[in-house]
Structure formats: C-alpha cells, structure tokens
Amino acid sequence: MPCLLVVDDEEGVRESLRMLFKGDCEVATAGSVEEAERFLHGSSPDLILLDLVMPGRGGLELLASLADQVDPPPVVVLTATKTVATAVEAMKRGAVDYITKPFEVEALRIKVRQLLERRELEREVVRLRAEVDGQERLGGLLGGSPLMRELFQTIRRVAASRATVLIQGESGTGKELVARAIHNLGDRVDQAFVTVNCAAIPAQLIESELFGHERGAFTDARERRIGKFETASGGTLFLDEIGEIEIAVQAKLLRALQEKQIERLGGSPTIAVDVRVVAATNRDLEADVAEGRFRADLFYRINVVPIALPALAERREDIRRLAEHFLASARADAHRGPRAIARDAIAALERYAWPGNVRELENAIERAVALAEGEVLEIADLPPAILRANELETLGDSVRSGKLGVEAAVGGFEKTLILEALARADGNQTQAAAQLQITRRSLKLKMDRYGIAAT
C-alpha cells in the first residue's frame, strides 16, 4: 500500500486528511518541518501533502531539504487563497502542484490518486530498466543481441574459475572490458588488475616489463624494478596483444605460467607468483603457430578458455543502444549537445560496416556531439566516412527498387569514391589519383563533372 505523509501544523487538517485517505493508503502525519524530517530520515513516502505556512520553519524549507535527495517524493502544497503566490514559488522549487484551502474533497482525492499511480508507474519503469540493464549490461559491456547475451553467460561462468582465458577479436571490440569483467566477477576482485599492452612495449624491454630486473642487469638498470607478474600477484594480469611478444620471451612466459615462478633479469632466485592470466589478441594465433611465429605450447597454455568477441557488424541490433549510451556519456562530459539521435542518423549508423567496431562508434558519436548545434543529432552531424557509405547504400537500394538507373547510380558511386580518395589524401589530387589508379588529369575532369571543388 502506498504511503502518504501529511505535514500541517493544524491537528484538525491532519486528522481530516488521515480519515479521507486511510482506506487508500497508509497515512503518516507531522505537525512541523522538524517532525517531517525525522520521519523522512527513516522512511520514504510516495507523496507529501505539505502546508506552506507553519510556525517556525515553513514548507519551503522542507522543499529545500528534499531537493538534496536522489529520488525525492512528489510534493503537493496546501495553501490559503491569499498565499497562492507562495505556492507558485514552491512549484518553482520542486513541488508538483498546489491545492488551495478550503479544498474540495473529491478534487483532492482524484489529485492524490493520480500522483500515487504516477509514482508507482515511475518505480515500475525504474525496476524494468534495472532488469533490462542486468540482462544487457555487464561491467562496461553493453548489448542485448543474442551474441552478447551468450558472451555475458560465458564471462560469468569463466569468472567463477581460475582458468587462463584467451580473448580473440578485432580491434575495438572491447577485449579489455571483457578481461575486467572476468576479474571483477571473480574471487580476485579485491586484488590488482594489471594491464600490459604487449604491442606498445619495445621488444628489448618486454621481458623487463613482465618479470622485472635487478640493479645492473643491463646498462640503464640503475635500480631494481618489480615486473608486472609480481605487481599482479594475487590478482589478474591482462596481456593485451600477446601475439606481438617475440619467440624468445614467449619461452619465459610459458615457464612462468607453468611453474608459477619468475626470475628477474639479472637475478638468480626464483620468485613465486599467484597470477590469473587473461590474454587477448586480434591476430589469428593458430595461423601464427603454423607459420612458426608463436609457440604452440604457449598457445595451448593460454587457450584454456577461448572467448571470441563478435565484430559490431555482427550485432547490428546493438548499435542503437550503444549510440544512445555514448550520446548520453558525451553530452554529460561536454555539458551540452543533442539529447536524441534522428531516425535517419540511426539508420545510417546501423548500415555502416564499422571496421573500427565499438571504439569507432564511440568516437563517431563524440565527434558528432562536439559539432552538432541542435537538440537532435542529425545525419549531417555524422563523420564523412559514414555519410559516404550511407550514400552508396542508398544508391544500391535505389537501383534495386527501380528508382534510379544504372548510369546514374554508377555516377553517384564514382563521385563517392573520388570524395573518399580526396579525403584520405587530405585534398592532394596526385595522391588521390594514385589511389584510384587513374591519372591526375582524369581525376580533375571527373571532379569538374561532379562539381567537386578542389581544396
């Protein structure tokens, strides 16, 4: 049953309202702002009927304290006809409505019932959203497509174990987010999560980065350094782009994984480490093994539980939700920007190939938010690559539907290719012509034909 709080210094008013609503909801009463605050400290009513004029602190002060709450209950102020101006001020401060005394009983009953029903509906929406988020969100990962739901189930299962995991997927698909989710859902969540980007560390330094070194181990080793294995001991070590590690270091990495021991460069004692390793790569490691670029024994050691991340193009049904999420995030960071995405812009996003996957989508939305001027993110606000791809798709659709002839479509296609080549070449016609495998003179003639201005 919903709870109604009546705040009024007149006992007769409090009792009348309690009797009026006792069959519809639980009614609590308070004769002052202080008494109401004590009640609110331990309870959360669904609606407050608040008198504005009371001895001592008035109703406006209670409204001010309610404004600091995360989800304050709605407030209807009770006021005499001569203080309607104060009631209007109360609405500016957060009250949802006001009723003048003496009030009409049936009108008040209807108003209270409507507001309580709205409050219940709002809470149901919050509950349903939380339920959906639980199904479509895991850590920093977002998606409700069948592929993502299956991925979430796999992550939850593997997180409960201590098995070594190999995450495979294209750049920008969220491999580190998966690794963090595995760590955060496992029993090592209170321990360190250490990341090593193997592709970003020079080959001659990767061994020191992983295992550490003693002072004097090499020319620039002026002091002892603790490696990532020791730093991550007790927690999780995420080896991103593990396929970039050279063969010589792969042997030492294999030994560390098998024996759970390491040796610092320049040191002789072995050091025990308790590390859960999660590795990731965008390479085809099986092909690398076949060609001798990656050790087979190391591959089998890290590939205990393989997780394959889908490309964004394989889960297009998630694009709208992701775009709206990135829009809200970018708008919050910029303290400005569109509140929604136009329907044709969403369609263009859903049709694009996304070679850069989720990372490219995030960057595209951030760029659009920075450049957009209206309350709605329009298709014209999207990056040129997406617009050109959308034009090509539209041309194809027009030909298939019979709305456009082949010659016109070929012309549109050629124009789009020229614009893309010029964009990649930063307007340099010689480089653009080379990309298109035509002469610069031919390019200039085509630019004139299609009305493409030189930059």
What is the band of 400 on the pLDDT scale with cuts at 50, 70, 90? low
pLDDT tens per residue across span 159-198: 999 999 999 999 999 999 999 999 999 999 999 999 999 9
Taking the C-alpha atoms of residue 247 and residue 299, their distance in angstroms, rounded to an integer, is 12
| CATH class of the domain defined by 141-310 | alpha beta
Q: DSSP characters for 252-281?
A: HHHHHHHHSEE--BT--S-EE---EEEEEE
Q: Is the Cβ–Cβ distance between 25 and 3 less than 8 Å? A: yes
What is the pLDDT confidence band of residue 254, given thresholds at 50, 70 and 90? very high
Beta partners for 377? 341
In single-letter form, the type of residue at position 329 comes to S
Q: Are 304 and 310 in contact (CB under 8 A)?
A: no
Residues paired with 280 in a beta bridge: 167
Q: Is residue 239 within a helix (H) or strand (E), and if so which, with residue range?
A: strand 236-240
pLDDT number for residue 224? 81
Q: Angle at CA 335, nearest 5°, toward 333 and 339? A: 95
CATH 3.40.50.2300 in the chain: give the residue spans.
3-130
For residues 70 and 214, give the distance between their C-alpha atoms in angstroms, rounded to a whole number: 53
Q: What is the mean pLDDT of the chain?
A: 87
Strand partners, 80: 101
What tens digit of pLDDT does each residue of 94-117 get?
A: 888 888 888 888 888 888 888 888
3-130: CATH number? 3.40.50.2300
Task: Compute the average pLDDT of residues 285-314.
Answer: 96
Which residue spans of the chain are classified as CATH 3.40.50.300? Answer: 141-310
- CA 312 distance to own-chain centroid: 14
CB–CB of 57/15 below 8 Å?
no
pTM of the model: 0.64
**Architecture per CATH, 314-450:** Orthogonal Bundle (1.10)
Most confident among 72-81, 109-118, 316-325, 418-427 (mean pLDDT)? 316-325
Q: How far apart are CA 127 and CA 368, in angstroms?
A: 32
Q: SS3 of 246, please?
A: coil
pLDDT, tens digit (0-9, with 9 covering 90-100), for 35-51? 999 998 888 899 999 98
232 DSSP assignment:
T
Q: pLDDT, tens digit, for every residue of 126-136?
A: 665 555 455 68
pLDDT for residue 283 is more than 80:
yes
Q: Which residues share a beta bridge with 197?
A: 240
Give the mean model confidence (pLDDT) for residues 223-252.
93
What stretch(es) of the chain map to CATH 1.10.8.60? 314-450
- Which 8-state DSSP code applies to residue 311? P
Q: What is the 3-state secondary structure (H, E, C) of 80-118?
A: EHHHHHHHHHHHHCCCCEEEEECCCHHHHHHHHHHHHHH
133 or 300, higher pLDDT: 300
Nearest alpha-carbon partner for 281 in 163, 170, 148: 170
Q: What is the mean pLDDT of residues 279-288?
A: 96
Q: What is the pLDDT of residue 60?
A: 87
Q: Is the separation of the CB atoms in 427 and 454 below 8 Å?
A: yes
